[in-house]
Amino acid sequence: EHGDISLKDIDQIAKSSFPLCMRHLFDKLKEDHHLKHGGRMQLGLFLKGVGLNLDDALAFWRAEFSKKVGLEKFEKEYAYNIRHNYGKEGKRTDYTPYSCHRIISSTPGAGDHHGCPYRHFSEENLRAALGRMGVNSRAMEDVIGKVRNRHYQLACTLTFEALHSMPCDAGINHPNQYFSDSRKILQ
């Protein structure tokens, strides 16, 4: 499972195979060189789940955060939590990546980028984000219809199907499932 993806491929794989919730966090991290705690947890555990090993995870977060807070502050304030997520610090709990249900139920505040975009974005922002992902206008209306009926995971499933031109009969219930189903098709 580990070593599944390597750092040099991560930008391209994020574009092709991350669900919108993780794509949004990834893009915001690259843009702001920072994410608040909720976002670091949601994206960090997802990346662990897709097989980014601890050393690569540290390098990934360090490359961005050091541009904003500097290397010293990164090592002092953030590296611990990354190791902690991998069970290398504290109680050595092995933290599990969040399910859709957990992400949809979260309550992101101002300045937070975690959560599920189908649930937490305005319709305008969601349309723009789906457009950037490459969802065509017909699929877009189907996705928005599901969102209006509060069927967020079905909206994500329709997005997956539109972007992969393949059915996803099981439906999307976990971001890491979205990722592995996508990789199976695209690899």
**What residue ranges bind ligand SF4 (CB under 6 A)?**
19-21, 100, 103-104, 116-118, 152-153, 156, 172, 175, 178
Residue type, 103: I
Task: Name which of 74 and 182 has its Cβ closer to ligand SF4.
Answer: 182
- Which residue, 38 or 175, is less far from ligand SF4 as judged by CB? 175
- The residue count for the chain: 187
Question: How far apart are the two ends of the chain, measured CA to CA in Å?
Answer: 16
Compare residues 23 and 52 and give the one whose CB is closer to ligand SF4.
Answer: 23
Instruction: Compare residues 78 and 106 and give the one whose CB is closer to ligand SF4.
Output: 106
- Reading phi first (left if > 0) and then psi (alpha if -120 to 50, else beta), residue 57 is in alpha
Radius of gyration of the chain (CA): 16
At 169 the three-state DSSP class reads coil
Cβ neighbourhood burial of 117 (10 Å; 0-12, 13-18, 19+): buried
Q: Please check whether residue 68 is in contact with residue 37, taking contact to mean a CB–CB distance below 8 angstroms.
A: no
H/E stretch holding 20 reads helix 20-32
Helix (H, G, I), strand (E, B) or coil at 38: helix
Least Cβ distance, residue 69 to ligand SF4 (angstroms): 27
Least distance CB 121 / ligand SF4 (angstroms): 10
**Residue 129 beta carbon to ligand SF4: minimum distance, rounded to whole angstroms:** 10
Q: Closest CB to ligand SF4 among 64 and 97? A: 97
Q: How far is the CB of 30 from ligand SF4 (least distance, A)?
A: 18
